[in-house]
Amino acid sequence: MGGSREVQQLLSFLDQAYDRPSWHGTNLRGSIRRVSVRQAGWRPRPERHNIWETVVHAAYWKYAVWRRITGQRRGSFARKGSNWFRCPEGGNEQEWRGDVALLDQMHRTLREAVEKLSASELSQTPKGSTVTNAFILSGVAAHDLYHAGQIQLLKKLSAP
């Protein structure tokens, strides 16, 4: 486990925003607990994203940040494309649960990479970027919470 106080603090932020207890309310993983495949695929309007797409989007950005801090090349995400992915119309429970598992996997993968970082690596700005690793990692936590709020709203709007 990353030994520096700074790494431990970032891990705490990432975990609270994703799946650990926190003061702010529902985190990302909590927001999709007990979401049915019907709820996951419901759209407020045809051109708007649904819960399912938001889950895959969050998984993708955990992957993208993992790539950034590990120096990995593009192209190894489970889906073709980037950022937003159209989810299957009429998808089934197994497909939905598979994408929830992808989100869990990407969180674990990112977390494991963060654990290996040193405090000095947190303050580095990778080539081609304008922000430090610490800045982008704190942004992952904010991104999770932002989408947790969206999902909570979509659940309320989709209720019969």
Distance (Å, whole) CA 32 – CA 12: 20
Helices (H), 19-92: 28-31, 37-41, 51-70
For the chain, 160 residues long, give each residue's pLDDT as a single digit of tens. Answer: 447 999 999 999 999 999 998 888 899 999 999 999 999 999 999 889 999 999 999 999 999 999 999 988 888 898 888 899 988 778 899 999 999 999 999 999 999 999 999 999 999 998 888 999 999 999 999 999 999 999 999 999 988 7
**This prediction's pTM:** 0.93
Indicate the fold that domain 5-158 takes in CATH: Four Helix Bundle (Hemerythrin (Met), subunit A) (1.20.120)
User: Residue type at 82?
Assistant: S
Say if CB 58 and CB 99 are below 8 A apart: no
Say if CB 89 and CB 112 are below 8 A apart: no
